[in-house]
Amino acid sequence: MDSIRIFNVPPGVAPEEVRRELVGLTLPVLSSAAGTAVFDDGYRVQAGALTSLLRSKSWEASFWFLGHYSSNNYVAFPPNVCEFLSGVETVVTDIPDDEDPDE
């Protein structure tokens, strides 16, 4: 499996303070049916994996993504904000479900 490392604040619908928390994270990327890691909209990361890995850095930012994306959805990152890491596997041990963690 391949990964990306976010090195710049990505664009997106999340508030800037949430997107800033993504900088420095290494995230597993999804592959297309053709085996390539980059899609038209950038590198895709499963939202559940992103939320799980972000949780250890910023609970608030993780909670924002949990409230706006289903675990099975994906978030795309353009190549100009991340580094592609071929053959680098990022282990995600706890993909959150789509329930409010305060309940």
Residues of the domain holding 72:
3-85
Using DSSP bridges, classify how beta strands 3-6 and 26-28 pair: parallel, antiparallel or unpaired.
Answer: antiparallel
Number of structural domains, the chain? 1
Domain membership flag for residue 93: no
Tell me how far CA of residue 57 lies from CA of 37, 39, 40, 41, in angstroms.
Answer: 25, 27, 29, 25
Query: Could you give the angle at which helices 59-68 and 47-55 cross, rounded to 10 degrees?
Result: 160
Domain membership flag for residue 48: yes
Global pTM value: 0.84
Strand ranges (E), the chain: 3-6, 26-28, 38-39, 42-46, 74-77, 82-85
Q: What is the pLDDT of residue 40?
A: 86
pLDDT averaged per 10 residues in sequence order, the chain, 103 residues: 94 96 95 76 93 94 94 93 91 60 45
